Amino acid sequence: MKPAEAFFHEEADEEKSALNGLIGASAAWRKVIEQLALVASSNATVLITGESGTGKEVVAQAVHTKSSRNNRPLVKVNCAAIAPELFESEFFGHARGAFTGAHKDRTGRFGLADGGTIFLDEVGEIPLALQGKLLRVLQEGQYERVGEDRTRNIDVRVIAATNRDLLKAVEAGRFRQDLFYRLSVFPIHIPPLRERLDDVPPLAQHFLQQMNWRDRCNELMQLSAENIRALQNYHYPGNVRELENIIERAAILSQCFLYKLNVQQILDAMLLSEQRKQLDALAQNPAAAAPKLMTYAELKNLERENVIAALQATGYRIYGAGGAAELLGIKPTTLASRIKALDIPLRPEAR
Comma-separated ranges of CATH 1.10.8.60 domains in the chain:
194-284
Q: Which CATH architecture has domain 296-346?
A: Orthogonal Bundle (1.10)
CATH dotted code for 194-284: 1.10.8.60
Dihedral of alpha carbons 317, 192, 175, 107, sign: negative
Percent of the chain whose pLDDT exceeds 70: 76
Comma-separated ranges of CATH 3.40.50.300 domains in the chain:
4-191
User: What's the CA gap between 208 and 226, in Å, rounded?
Assistant: 15
Q: What is the pLDDT of residue 288?
A: 52
CATH dotted code for 4-191: 3.40.50.300
Query: How high is the mean pLDDT of the chain?
Result: 80
| Most confident option among 5-9, 22-26, 174-178 | 174-178
Q: Which of 120, 116, 147, 150 is nearest to 135 (CA)?
A: 120
Q: Reply yes or no on whether the pLDDT at 181 is more than 80.
A: yes
| Most confident option among 175-184, 197-206, 300-309 | 175-184
Q: What is the pLDDT of residue 68?
A: 94
What pTM was computed for the model?
A: 0.71
Q: Which of 145-159, 192-206, 251-265 has the lowest mean pLDDT?
A: 251-265
Q: What is the pLDDT of residue 298?
A: 72
Whether the CB-CB separation of 206 and 244 falls below 8 Å is answered with no
Rg (CA), the chain: 24
Degrees (nearest 5) of the Cα angle 38, 42, 43? 140
Q: Reply yes or no on whether the pLDDT at 283 is more than 90.
A: no
Neighbour-count burial of 241, counting CB atoms closer than 10 A to its CB (0-12 exposed, 13-18 middle, 19+ buried):
middle
Comma-separated ranges of CATH 1.10.10 domains in the chain:
296-346
User: What's the CA gap between 141 and 134, in Å, rounded?
Assistant: 10
Q: What is the pLDDT of residue 224?
A: 81
b (16+ CB within 10 A) / e for 72-110: bbbbbbebeebeeeebbbbbbbbbeebeeebeeebebbb
Q: Which of 67-71, 168-172, 228-232 has the lowest mean pLDDT?
A: 228-232
